[in-house]
Amino acid sequence: MQAFDLSQKVSVITGAGSGIGKSIAEVFSRHGSKVYILDVDEKSAREAEQQIRQADGDATFIRCNVASQAAVKDVMQRIFDESKRIDILVNNAGVAHIGNVETTSEEDMDRIYNINIKGVYNCLHACIPYMKQHGGGVILNLASVASVVAVADRFAYSMSKGAVLTMTLSVAKDYLGDNIRCNSIAPGRVHTPFVDGFLKKNYPGKEEEMFEKLSRTQPIGRMGKPEEIAKLALFLCSDEAGFITGCNYPIDGGFISLNS
């Protein structure tokens, strides 16, 4: 049996159409899990589904807006009806925002709350009963370095990721007796399509220069790779991590510990 074996396990990964979520889906699939890709971007999610299937993996895309509790409940019910179990939930879907408290509008705040906080709550609320019914499971939430240290001009985003961290601790405590483990990962800056799009939109003609500048904000001298985050996710969601719950794992090129 290979290390970090996820065969016979069903994983639900939100925001898995691109970036970190896509890498998690690919890595989990390679280790034997059936993966459900939940995303609102149908084009990228269909491509992720196809790529996993072409690599002989088992992937199914379901369009889902995590901000809608009714939609999430319907999707989780469908997955459980099809697979008879949900073993792993990865709450990865989220959106970014740049601004301080003065420049953050009410609309900005509501959007961040609805996706980054309520979206996680909706998935936890809908999924945990199925895990309990089947005898346990593993939950992994994507937090951020902004959960635990100050990052300039990230008021709403830091608020949302701080909530993700504390929801992780609460769920881990409440479901110890149900054999449900819950942990979080706190990435630093990771090179995803979002970063490329941000640079193209805000620094046209200076993308390469700004990419290098952003990379140097990580003490290790570069951005993280999505597959590096995915490999930590694989460990935490595998049976090898069976003694780990209620923990937050920075994966940040030294950002937290070496910038303080």
Rounded to whole angstroms, the Cα distance separating 90 from 102 reads 33
Domain segments of the chain as ranges: 10-188+224-251
Lowest mean pLDDT of 13-17, 112-116, 188-192, 256-260, name the range: 256-260
Quick one: CA dihedral 25, 34, 145, 241, positive or negative? negative
Closest CA to 28 of 242, 234, 183: 234
The strand pairing partners of 50, in sequence order, are none
CB 55, CB 82: distance < 8 Å: no
φ, ψ (nearest 5 deg) of residue 152: -60, 140
- The pLDDT, as a whole number, for residue 158 is 98
Domain 10-188+224-251 fold: Rossmann fold (3.40.50)
pLDDT in tens, 184-237: 999 999 999 888 888 888 889 999 999 999 899 899 999 999 999 999 999 999
Rounded to whole angstroms, the Cα distance separating 116 from 241 reads 26
Question: What mean pLDDT do residues 84-108 have?
Answer: 97
State the chain's mean pLDDT as an integer. 96
CB 10, CB 33: distance < 8 Å: yes
**Residue 206: strand, helix, or coil:** coil
pLDDT > 80? residue 1: no
pLDDT > 60? residue 179: yes
CB 220, CB 254: distance < 8 Å: yes
Amino acid at site 147:
S
End-to-end CA distance of the chain: 42
pLDDT > 80? residue 260: no
**Long-range contacts, stretch 45-53, CB < 8 angstroms, 24+ apart:** 45/16, 45/17, 45/18, 47/17, 48/16, 48/17, 48/18, 48/22, 51/26, 52/25, 52/26
Question: What mean pLDDT do residues 114-135 have?
Answer: 98
Q: Is 36 left (phi over 0), alpha (psi -120 to 50) or beta?
A: beta
Question: What mean pLDDT do residues 132-151 have?
Answer: 97
Distant-in-sequence, close-in-space partners of 43: CB < 8 Å, separation ≥ 6:
none
The strand pairing partners of 138, in sequence order, are 88, 181
Which active-site residues does the annotation give? 157
Rounded to whole angstroms, the Cα distance separating 52 from 67 reads 26
Please name the helix (run of DSSP H) or strand (run of DSSP E) that holds residue 47, with its range, or none.
Answer: helix 42-54
This prediction's pTM: 0.96
**Quick one: what percent of the chain has pLDDT higher than 90?**
90
- The pLDDT, as a whole number, for residue 199 is 87
Extract the tokens encoding 241: 């991590």
Rounded to whole angstroms, the Cα distance separating 36 from 212 reads 35
Amino acid at site 175:
Y
**Long-range contacts, stretch 239-243, CB < 8 angstroms, 24+ apart:** 239/5, 240/3, 240/4, 241/181, 241/183, 242/181
pLDDT > 80? residue 259: no
φ, ψ (nearest 5 deg) of residue 234: -60, -50
Question: What mean pLDDT do residues 28-40 have?
Answer: 98
